[in-house]
Amino acid sequence: SKGDVIAFLDSDDLWLPHKLKFQLSLLKKYPQASFVFGHGEQFGTGAIPPPQLESLFVGNVLHPILLKERFVFYVPTIMVKREILHKTTAMNENLSSGGDIDFFLRMASVYEGIFSNEIVVKIRKHGQSHSQRMETVAYEEYLDMIKRFLLDGFLTPTQYGQIASKQNYKLGLLYLALNNRKKAMECFYRYTKIKPFNLKGWIRWIQAGLPSSLTRSL
């Protein structure tokens, strides 16, 4: 790429006609920002309506997206100033499914960005988009990623615990749905280590240890 900015587009998604012009105008209006990302609308099998989010945010997006889930993250909405790619580690191709979010969050940990609620892409949803197996891989990689953010000093132990507890609980539920009860117990146990006084973690841990025939109603 030889341009001043780089934008991403997955092969099965669509940019809306105004996407590039609109995001370039934001980068021009807020020159302190090094990247911009935005909202998308799903279409196809399993599509859900886009959530309503704040209209515009400029600044450090790392903590708002990790701790408060204030924004959505769709790869085809990202536009990055090319100059910062020389100072940012490239995408980790060893990650099965989380290379894009890992790259984005590492970039967000160093540079200011812009989020706009303007819908600029259409995200295709279909039966082959994500298998449940790949969802578990994505969660595991995400947990490893936030552990690295803790070790690198971008998250405090309290912030790490807030994120890790939520992700372990969600992953435990996913393993339960896949009837991988051993893995589910491991996830709920990690949750209870972070939140020992939250009964739902212990209840789920016990549920995962019981035969599935006894827990279908839980």
Query: Helix H segments across 43-131?
Result: 62-67, 99-108
Q: What confidence tens digit (pLDDT) does each residue in 161-186 have?
A: 999 999 999 999 999 988 999 999 99
Instruction: Identify the sign of the CA torsion 7, 13, 17, 22.
Output: negative
Residue with the two structure tokens 């209006």:
29
d(CA 36, CA 161): 28
The structure's pTM equals 0.80
Instruction: Please give the torsion angle defined by the CA atoms of residues 147, 148, 150 and 151, in that order, rounded to the nearest 10 degrees.
Output: 120
Per-position pLDDT tens, the chain of length 218: 788 999 999 888 999 999 999 999 999 999 999 999 999 998 887 778 888 888 899 999 988 888 888 888 888 999 999 888 877 666 777 776 667 888 888 888 889 999 999 999 999 887 554 555 678 888 888 899 899 889 988 899 999 999 999 999 999 999 998 899 999 999 999 999 999 999 999 999 999 988 765 555 55
Angle between helix axes 157-177 and 199-209 (nearest 10 degrees) is 30
Q: Give yes or no for a contact between 96 and 58, defined as CB atoms under 8 angstroms apart.
A: no
